Amino acid sequence: MKSALKDIEDITERDEGALDLLKKRLLWAAGLVILFLVIIILRLWFLQISNGEEYEKRAYGNRVRIRQLNPPRGHILDRNNREMVTNRPSFNVALIQEDSEDLGNVLKRIAPVLDMDVAELWEKIRQASDTPRYLPVLLKEDIDWQTLAYLENHNHEFSGIRTEVQPVRVYHYEDLAANIIGYLGSISKQELETADKAIYRGGDIIGKKGLEKLREADLRGEKGHSYSEVDAKGFEQQLLKTVEPLPGRQIRLTLDVDLQQIAESYMTAGEKSGAVVAMEVKTGRLLVAVSAPTIHINDFVGGISTEKWQALLDNPKHPLINKVVQASYPPGSTYKMVTALAGLAKGVIDNDTVFYCPGHYTFGNRRYRCWKHSGHGPVNLLKAIGESCDVYFYQVGQKVGVDGLAEYAEKLGLGKKTGIEMEYEKSGLAPTKKWKEKYRNAKWQDGETLSVAIGQGFNLVTPLQMCSMTATLANGGKLYRPQLVEQVIDSEGRIIEAFSPELVSEITGLDQYFNSIKRGMEEVIQGKRGTARSVAIEGLRIAGKTGTAQVVKVAQYRGLKEEDIPYKYRDHGWFTCYAPAEDPEIAVTVLVEHGLHGGSGAGPIAKAVLNQYFSGRLKQVVVE
Amino acid sequence: MFRIDRRLFEHFDMVLLLLIFLVCIMAFFNLYSASFPNSGFGMPPYIRQAYFFLIGFAAFVFVVSFDYQELHSWNYPFYGLIILLLIIALVAGDSAGGAQRWINLGFFKLQPSEPAKLMLVVTLASYYSRKEINDGYAIKDLVIPVALTGIPFMLILLEPDLGTALMLGIIFVSMTVFVKLKMSTYGIMGGLAFAAGLLAWEKLLKPYQKQRIQTFLDPDQDPMGHGYQILQSKIAVGSGGKFGKGYLEGTQGHLHFLPERHTDFAFSVWGEEWGFAGSVIFIGTYFLLLFWGLNVAMYAKDRFGVLLAYGVVMLIFWQAVINLFMIMGFLPVVGIPLPLVSYGGSSLLTTMLGLGLLMNVRMRRFQAAMPRD
């Protein structure tokens, strides 16, 4: 056996030569194979080790679609837990471009389902050209149940198309307190730039006005996300995990729906423009905050049309302005309480000081008229407030001086913002000599003090300030910050924030003066010649004051009946009051723009609010 | 004809067989994952491939049973048969994706361009061993080999299947350069190849073929087309990282991001699920098989045996390199399978036949050369 093998080996050795040369070239082939093996291993190293993490991310991005789950926005309740604003689910149709195959055909097929034109759909996609391809482009909002059911059942026919749930607001009392609650809208580019990117992204719905904006952080909740695995065609294979959205916090307002409704219905019925504010005297809780005319909140759902927006801007009654705080007016005679308090506190008058009113008062070389041209005769403080005698207050004001008036105006909360949770609050104005020099670049004229004393000069007051002042008078000098939010409750029922009265300042040691003024204010309603006798409610002691704020002094309209004066030149009517006089609970202020005299234009509305507020407690409800 | 020698069994190469089995087992598991979850229609690819492997192994045994020297006489009849099949495929074959490549045999669609590759290896090995010129072939000596290559090349190009046609060219070049040419022949052949390439680009390539090459040169031009496929393949392999995502856990494959994942892109699935470690093991085993094949050539007893073993190794080697380069983003999508790994009966059968030849040469290395007549 061995020898046989040996023989063969010898034979092959002899045969070598040419075959050997050929076999030598096999080494080159082996070299080639090694070279490519090394290249392949290096390439694998590059792909899997050097760039492995990067490719892993790309593989993840390939297969995982993160879907935003919008949280239901916090509900808004009234003080008695009545739901004012809640949500309902709405279903939107969106397109994920990245997942879409054969987009042209998909759009052609889905257009009739959505009852839209193909061109319209393309336009939406074109408009969203900034949107990254993996984010949804909204094609149609709030589709009906049938469309939803069809799309869900035929989802494999529409690659890249999906339906999303978006909670939308439901307004249970329609436009009630619309200017206070505000509305929602899509986040704008500017808002997005400054917003926290971790919270907001394009297409989000956020609070645009009112409490919806101011309390955005409480109301919005936290978004949830679902992570689902998709195949190469974008169809979902399985849900990987879901982080449920956290519903927004509920906000319970201090407002009372019943009172608010009564006040709004009166304003609407009379097509009145103005504001109604009611406040708890001892806490600062706002019970009513009406701005009329109101915006129609449903116009804003899904974005307001240009025409409607323009109509709102052009409306002479300015529905976009929240007149509770965003408009200020001369206080008229309601300012006389300030003048009286300043006079008493400065010692220039007491309860028994009497001035004679012949119907006018001459100061310098000018004659200042009393509203009652025939004159009030001898007038003490009680009668001066009750019958609103201008001549009396001209003299008090003159003796106190404008700076003294301003000092007490400010103590009663005028001339500065109340700090209520409303946007663009005006501070109003309690004029001083310095103010005039600084802002009007002119010296104070003493005659101007007389106008200020009866509320007709430079003074400006917001309806909220007036109400706050009334409450401060009623409670004997405690100025509470008006507040709108009773409680903030999170989705698990925990109370995040609870109302507590916030005392801004307190006037002390002037109780007897307050009492004198308050007796005068009772005369306004209950006195024989009171200027607001029509507001009286049997069984309820009300204290109040009317006011008429001159809009312009135009000679041609002097002596005309108010009804004959063009609307925009008519005086504003104020009425402010509190009740019950013996133990005040509620202060109500009504301002009717161009609303004639306060007693006739504004009084009935305040009376209706009081009637409602005390309805359970009054033995007889006096109906007008 | 059958010279069954006791030494045949003594020289049966267990290492070669083991390496073939190792690669086939890994390929089978990979194919199971690549076709998982099963669509539920028809026989799952991995089962079909298992049958093909059994048939292939039978063919392997058959090829081992006769002396490879017999091929000298069988060569031309088989060559003729393959050319006939290529013509049938072209005239009456089934088409898919714009190419006519398959002959429908009912139970099996034969792709004659696959055995044509092996046929060319055998034909050229036979020709160059019979016409031995040790100081380099001149251009006139290459007329017959060029013609032998050119006929199937043109038929396959007409299908059209550019990748496989080029594969024939690569086999021709590999074998011809190996037997040594005159320096002048290199120059002339190089010039002719260049001219043919230019002509092909202008006249012969179909638009989709040009598109593939252009896409490769500038992938951004066509992100959802072929560039997309290559990108998805790179993502699949790259995302495997060090140790992979685990068997059956690859997301790129199972969520259909990978195109052709059980055929041409099968190795992407392996790379994704087994990572760098698994890929190195697989490629290592695969290349060990190739080295073993070169070893077979090295110890072959005659010129025909050397050329035959070398040719089979080159056939597998170039297909593997082109396929892996495509998967790893070095080449455009060319439609060359990874032998033994990619799903496909024709390719597997052809490869098993080739490996059978390798074993044949191995087992007969000590036998005296058959007397030529």
Tell me whether residues A232 and B255 touch, CB distance under 8 A: yes
pLDDT band at A120 (very low <50, low <70, confident <90, very high): confident
Residue A338: pLDDT band with limits 50, 70, 90 = very high
Please give the CATH topology (third level) of the domain spanning A65-253.
Answer: Penicillin-binding protein 2a (Domain 2) (3.90.1310)
A38 and B CB contact within 8 Å: no
Rounded average pLDDT over A170-180: 91
Is the ipTM, as predicted for this complex, more than 0.95?
A: no
Q: Is A62 on the interface with B (CB under 8 A)?
A: yes
Residues of A in contact with B233 (CB under 8 A): none
- Beta strands A83-96; A76-77: pairing state: antiparallel
**A20 touching B, CB under 8 A?**
no
- Asked if domains A65-253 and A257-295+319-490+499-613 share a fold, the reply is no
Among B24-33, B130-139, B294-303, the minimum mean pLDDT is found in B130-139
- Closest residue by Cα to residue B326 from B264, B240, B256, B252: B264
Q: Cα(A267)–Cα(A178) distance, rounded to whole angstroms?
A: 14
Mean pLDDT of A527-551: 87
Which of B241, B314, B321 is closest, CB to CB, to A48? B241
Determine what percent of chain A is predicted with pLDDT higher than 90: 49
Q: Could you give the 3-state DSSP secondary structure of residue A65? A: strand
B370 domain residue, yes or no:
no
Q: Domain for residue B255, yes or no?
A: yes
Q: Which uninterrupted H or E stretch holds A39? A: helix A18-44
Phi-psi category of B182—alpha, beta or left, where left has phi over 0 and alpha has psi -120 to 50? beta
Among A91-105, A178-192, A468-482, B288-302, name the one with the lowest average pLDDT: A91-105
Q: Report yes or no: A198 at the B interface, CB cutoff 8 Å.
A: no
User: What pLDDT digit, counting tens, does each position of A56-69 carry?
Assistant: 888 887 777 778 88
CB-CB neighbours of A189 under 10 Å: 8
Q: What's the average model confidence in pLDDT over B345-351?
A: 93
Q: Is B128 part of a structural domain of the chain?
A: yes
Contacts made by residues A26-33, CB under 8 angstroms, sequence distance 24+: A26/B294, A26/B297, A26/B298, A26/B306, A26/B310, A29/B178, A29/B294, A29/B297, A29/B310, A29/B313, A29/B314, A30/B291, A30/B294, A33/B287, A33/B290, A33/B291, A33/B294, A33/B313, A33/B317
d(CA B47, CA B43): 7
> A29 and B294: CB-CB below 8 Å?
yes
> What are the two backbone dihedrals, phi and then psi, of residue A427, each rounded to the nearest 5 degrees?
-90, -10
Q: Which residues of B touch A48 (CB under 8 A)?
A: 237-238, 240-242, 271, 275-276, 279
Contact (Cβ atoms closer than 8 angstroms) between residue A187 and residue A205: yes
pLDDT digits (tens, 9 = 90+) for B286-296: 999 999 999 99
User: Is B207 within a domain?
Assistant: yes
Q: Do A55 and B251 touch (CB under 8 A)?
A: no
Average the pLDDT over each of A296-305, A485-494, B107-116 and give the range with the smallest value: A296-305
Q: How far is B321 from chain A (nearest CA, A)?
A: 7
* Residue B224: domain span: 6-37+44-363
Q: How far apart are CA A38 and CA A30, in angstroms?
A: 12
**Residue B215 predicted with pLDDT over 70:** no
Distance CA A341, CA A405 (A): 9
Residue B142 lies in a domain: yes
pLDDT band at residue A532, thresholds of 50, 70 and 90? Answer: confident
Query: Any alpha helices (H) in A115-165, and if so which ranges?
Result: 118-127, 145-153
Strands (E), A432-566: 478-480, 485-489, 495-498, 503-506, 543-549
CATH of A257-295+319-490+499-613, one of 3.30.450.20, 3.40.710.10, 3.40.920.10, 3.10.450.630: 3.40.710.10
> Does A554 lie at the interface with B, CB-CB under 8 angstroms?
no
Residues of A in contact with B279 (CB under 8 A): 44, 48
Please give the average per-residue pLDDT across A480-504, as a whole number.
93
CB contact under 8 A, A44 and B328: yes
Chain B residues with CB under 8 Å of A232 CB are 232, 255-257
Average pLDDT of chain B to the nearest whole number: 86
Mean pLDDT within A390-419? 93
B372, part of any domain: no
- CB-based contact B345:B54 (threshold 8 Å): no
Nearest to residue A31, comparing CAs of A39, A20, A43?
A: A39
A235 exposed, middle or buried (CB, 10 Å; 0-12, 13-18, 19+)? middle
Centre a 10 Å sphere on the Cβ of residue A263 and count the other Cβ atoms it contains.
Answer: 28
Q: Distance between CA A430 and CA B180 in Å, rounded?
A: 110
Cβ pair A48:B256 closer than 8 A: no
Residue A555 sits at the chain B interface (C-beta within 8 Å) = no
Least confident of A75-89, A545-559, B89-103, B126-140: A545-559
Marked catalytic residue, from A291, A333, A451, A516: A333
> CA-to-CA distance for A368 and B75, rounded, in angstroms?
132
CB spacing of A23 vs B276 below 8 angstroms: no
CB contact under 8 A, A53 and B279: no
- Evaluate whether residue B321 is within a structural domain: yes
Judged by average pLDDT, the poorest of A419-423, A468-472, A528-532, B347-351 is A528-532
With CB atoms and an 8 Å threshold, state whether A44 touches B255: no
pLDDT at position A624 is 43
* Residue B368 covered by a domain: no
Phi-psi region of A160 (alpha: psi -120 to 50; beta: other; left: phi over 0): left
pLDDT score recorded for residue B125: 95
How many distinct structural domains can be found in chain B? Answer: 1
Bigger pLDDT: A134 or B129?
B129
Chains A and B form CB pairs within 8 A to the count of 134
Count of alpha carbons within 13 angstroms of residue A563, beta-carbon side: 2
Is residue A333 flagged as an active site residue? yes
Nearest Cα of chain B lies from the Cα of A78 at a distance, in angstroms, of 52
Most confident of A193-202, A555-564, B13-22: B13-22
Q: Which residues of A touch B301 (CB under 8 A)?
A: 12
Comparing A209 with A60, which gets the higher pLDDT?
A: A209
Q: Is the pLDDT of residue A565 over 90?
A: no
Q: Is A16 on the interface with B (CB under 8 A)?
A: no
What is the pTM (predicted TM-score) of this model?
0.68
Residue A553's pLDDT band (boundaries 50, 70, 90)? low
